[in-house]
Amino acid sequence: MVMVALRKLALFLHILHGMLVCATIFPWIGKEARRRRIRNWSQRMLAICGVELEVDDRRTSNALPHGAMLVSNHISWLDIYVIHCWEPTRFVAKSEIRGWPVIGWLCDKTGTIFIERASKRDAHRVLHQIADEMKKGDLVGVFPEGTTTDGSKVLPFHANLLQAPISGDIPVQPVGLSYVDAVTGEPALAPAYIDDITLLECLDAILRAPRIKARLTIGQEIRPEGLGRRELAELARGEVMGLRGGDGFQDAVTADAPMMGATS
């Protein structure tokens, strides 16, 4: 109990430090300096939560493409910080998150692109914004499942946001993510942000769990030439499934559902 309380205090102070940096330093520094600070802050976040990171980079070249869309399966609110530790990324998130206390403000200040998922007009705006940011060299991250799982499967990918790399002729970077017990290698369920669990309950479960290892597997980029968005979504989902070990679920894609792909 004492250790968990100390971790919570350390996490609270770490979040306050992040807010202070965003408010006082971010407006005055360049993109690369912000990226370094986001990576360092995220690494410290994982350390406080008792999560270690294992990266398996399977690309033939370790250099990121000049602008890309990162697609990943989605398990936890921790996913964002795990990916930031590898490569700081501008994520697409549902507009409701902007109103969350503290977290919403931090997301906004670190470059999150917010989308009103029920609005077709806003969907078109976001598609153009994503394409523009990727053309400028940014890595833009989406979770095409549109929700979180316990990590045992990869849900069908919503294809709408994948129109952006097609329109901009920009590569897609697939990433597979899983959480395991750092000692036994068995799946760790504590990070799963699913069902009716609250953010604080999920955080408490992570802090009380045995040490967790986040496994991040980086695949080969996918070029979108000649592909429709449904085909690209199917291909990207297949790659992500292979990177996290695959599963037996049907390779279906929800192509015309509301704009999903934002973190839940």
pLDDT digits (tens, 9 = 90+) for 113-134: 998 877 778 888 889 899 999 9
pLDDT of 249? 34
Domains of the chain: 2-254 (3.40.1130)
Determine the Cα–Cα distance for residues 198 and 153; give it in Å rounded to an integer.
21
Nearest C-alpha neighbor of 206 from the set 89, 41, 44, 47: 47
Q: Say how many residues make up the chain.
A: 264
Q: Tell me the C-alpha to C-alpha distance, in Å, between residue 13 and each of 16, 34, 41.
A: 5, 20, 12
Which of 91-95, 101-105, 146-150, 164-168 shows the lowest mean pLDDT across its residues?
A: 101-105
- Coil, strand or helix: which one is 11? helix
Nearest C-alpha neighbor of 159 from the set 224, 66, 102, 90: 224
How wide is the angle at C-alpha 216 spanned by C-alphas 95 and 147, nearest 5°? Answer: 30
More confidently predicted of 206 and 121: 206
- Token pair, residue 227, equals 């592909």
Would you give the DSSP letter of residue 194?
Answer: -
